[in-house]
Copies of this chain bind each other. A is one copy, B any other.
Amino acid sequence: MRYSQVFGNNTLRHNPTTAKSISYSLLLRGGYVRAIGSGLFALLPMGIRVMNNIKSIIRDEMEALGGQEMSLPLVVPYNLWKKTGRDKLVGKELVRFSDRAGHELVLSTSHLEPITQLARLSINSYRDFPRFLYQFEAKFRDEEKVKYGLFRSKEFTMKDAYSFHRSYVDLNNFFPKVFKAYRAIFENCGIETIVAESAVGSLSGDRAYEFLMPCSWGGNRIIRCSSCGYQANIDVAVGIKDKISEIPLDSEEVSTPGCSNIGALMEFLDVPAQRIAVTTLYRTIKGWALVTCRGDYEISIEKLSRLLEEPVVGAATDEEVDSMGLAPGFLFPSNEVTGFRFVIDDLVAESNNLIVGADKPDRHIVNANFGRDFESEIVGDIARIHADNKCIRCETMLEELPAIEVGNIFKLGDFYSRAIGLSYSEENGDVAYPHMGSYGIGLGRLMSAVVEANHDERGIKWPRSLAPYKFFLMGIGKSFRVKNVVESLSEELGSDVLFDDRHESVGVKFKDFDLLGIPFRIVVSTKSLQDGNVEFYERETEKTWRVPLEMVVKTCRALISEDI
């Protein structure tokens, strides 16, 4: 391909101010992507070539596991979401609209409901297992904040895959195979990932794992133990929390005017956060719950959902608290007034002499103790671990690591098949429900992660497997001989070469080669041709070497098959 003809060959010299991550900045500068709206992106021809390489790596791994490609529309009937109850769990990120005939539709943020519906039409018997389906399909999430280019966009393409099994045991046996395939995919794409147990979130499944790549601006937080190797997403990580063991003192109600938030209360009473037990009202999918956690810890919605065995939607607003006859900011850890379930974090139960709300405005109780001043049957670990807590296995100090998520896998069990009504006849005639797994990789996100992990100050360094072109070819000097050689090499190397035939200086071409991240540069110059050679340069190793003209094509073939 002649670079002069490539759509998007107007590379940018400097980092655009709009780009908040180095990967987005380099992808913009190199002419791989362009924004056409907030969180809406076009892939330019160079970007498509990288994306097709990513798809090909993924497709190979999916097919090797018996994966069959299919495709679902982005727009699906809303009633499928109502069947699983996820219509209530998913908020504004799900775009809902009605067509002119009045059908309620959504822009899919995931395809769990429609794939289960589709399976209903094709899986009927115990003979129809296992099935493993995948697609490369657009999703749309109306994100509150779009960021980092393709990393968090509104419309994005995912490889999503779904497996259907006759039993939970079969799902458990299949699951590690996908796990291994994911490892291979990320390795082949040139990134190193950490696998961490993660939140199930609004997917309502049994178990979930994330493939995470450490990254300074990553929004995911991994808790890990450098000693025993324990690692998990902060939403589900466990650790030894710091309890406060003291002799219980007499409790006392005190005036705390205006102290409806922990900051104000700490200042007014001059106490540290760990002295305070904060009570919050949460809405779950089935009702309400009052939840108490120590002030130096955050509540993990995921842990809380698991403890309650029902999905938690979010915290109530002050207006909602008020309308229930409670005092916002001064909640007491009890359900006496409301009859709501009351949940306390085990650390609150194990700490003495805490400060709690007094259930009336501008009043708190000091020296409150669990079992004496308040009580509950629902006690468990619902707090996010800190980096300075200790490992529950080996008591080493834990670490916290920012990371970005590049893939996730879920054991869904039979939640979706039961909700959507995907049943089949067992060998003995019984009606049964398949167990499902779901496996996702965001393609734009993966492409960003690859650049994040493979670049230097001059530009991208694509792994050979993903590079849009393997070779960047250019001539130096205007001699007829040089021109002839580059033209004929360009033809011989065909679709593997990007031939920079632009009317630009050598310096500009060198800079663009570095920016684009193509693995090898081939320079034909009057000087090198005097000895019958051309010059090879490898972007990754910065090695330069000379190759006799007649050996160039053979050398390129060997480089492609990675023999050298």
Contacts and interface: CB of A to CB of B under 8 A. Distances in A.
A194 interface: no
Given A34-B121, A36-B117, A45 B73 contact: no
Interface stretch (A91-99, A234-242, A449-457): A91-99
A76 B4 CA distance: 29
B66 A44 contact: no
Contacts of A38: 77, 99, 101, 103
Contacts of A207: none
Nearest to A495: B63
A68 B69 CA distance: 25
Contacts of A80: 36
Given A40-B75, A75-B107, A103-B37, A45 B138 contact: no
A37 B105 contact: yes
A100 B42 CA distance: 21
Contact of A41 (B5, B73, B131): B73
A71 interface: yes
A317 interface: no
B42 A68 contact: no
Given A10-B122, A36-B73, A45 B133 contact: yes
B5 A66 contact: yes
Contacts of A99: 38, 95, 142, 154
Contacts of A114: 36, 42
Nearest to A121: B34
A500 interface: no
A70 B95 contact: no
B105 A100 contact: no
Contacts of A100: 92, 142, 144
Interface in A122-156: 122-124, 127, 131, 133, 138, 140, 142, 144, 154-155
A118 B34 contact: yes
A501 B220 CA distance: 47
Interface in A222-247: none
A45, A47, A140, most chain B CB atoms within 10 A: A45
Interface in A1-47: 4-10, 31, 34, 36-38, 40-45, 47
A75 B118 contact: no
A16 B103 CA distance: 23
A547 interface: no
Contacts of A68: 6-7, 45, 48
Contacts of A37: 73, 75-77, 103, 105
A281 B151 CA distance: 52
A345 to B, nearest CB: 32
Nearest to A105: B37
A72 interface: yes
Contacts of A70: 7, 42-45, 47-48
A315 interface: no
22 contacts: A5-B66, A10-B122, A10-B124, A31-B122, A34-B118, A34-B122, A36-B76, A37-B76, A37-B103, A40-B75, A42-B70, A42-B71, A43-B71, A44-B118, A48-B68, A48-B69, A73-B138, A74-B74, A97-B97, A99-B142, A100-B142, A100-B144
Given A36-B72, A48-B71, A100-B142, 4 more contacts: A38-B101, A40-B76, A44-B70, A73-B138
Interface of A: 4-10, 31, 34, 36-38, 40-45, 47-48, 51, 66, 68-77, 80, 92, 95, 97, 99-101, 103, 105, 107, 114, 117-119, 121-124, 127, 131, 133, 138, 140, 142, 144, 154-155
